[in-house]
Homo-oligomer: A and B are copies of this chain.
């Protein structure tokens, strides 16, 4: 039914949790998984993938933890998405048209190509900094 991958969802939660604290601050994954309700073993793998993609820095040992490797305004949803699932590809047809059984005149390629482009554009436009900022505005409203 075309749902968001839960791992990607969790990855965004992690990045937003980091962005919610002063830049450069280090959080433990334990803190994050309790706050964001993510099962341990699952989260650890996500952390590892974010780290491989150089979106975060990780430090083992006591006082270890993770921190952002770039300012939140510089990290897009596309960066996170690709760190977890690789490039967005909503139909095989779009990657290798030559393998499409309907060949170069596949009537559907245009259709999904347009949708994918719209999605890509959105993922590139939205940054963690923006989302974090919006979230803080909302939280301020609910204070009263």
Residues of chain A at the chain B interface (Cβ within 8 Å): 1-5, 9, 12-13, 16-17, 20, 36-37, 77, 85-86, 88-92, 101-102, 104-105, 107-108, 110-112, 114-115, 118-119, 121-123, 126, 131-132, 134-135, 138-139, 142
Chain B residues within an 8 Å CB radius of A115: 4, 77, 119, 122-123, 126
A131 to B86 CA separation, bound complex (whole angstroms): 28
Q: Give the 9 A-B residue pairs with the shortest CB-CB distance, closest first.
A: A118-B122, A16-B107, A4-B91, A4-B90, A37-B101, A115-B122, A118-B118, A12-B108, A107-B135
Chain B residues within an 8 Å CB radius of A16: 107-108
Judged by DSSP, the binding face of A is helix
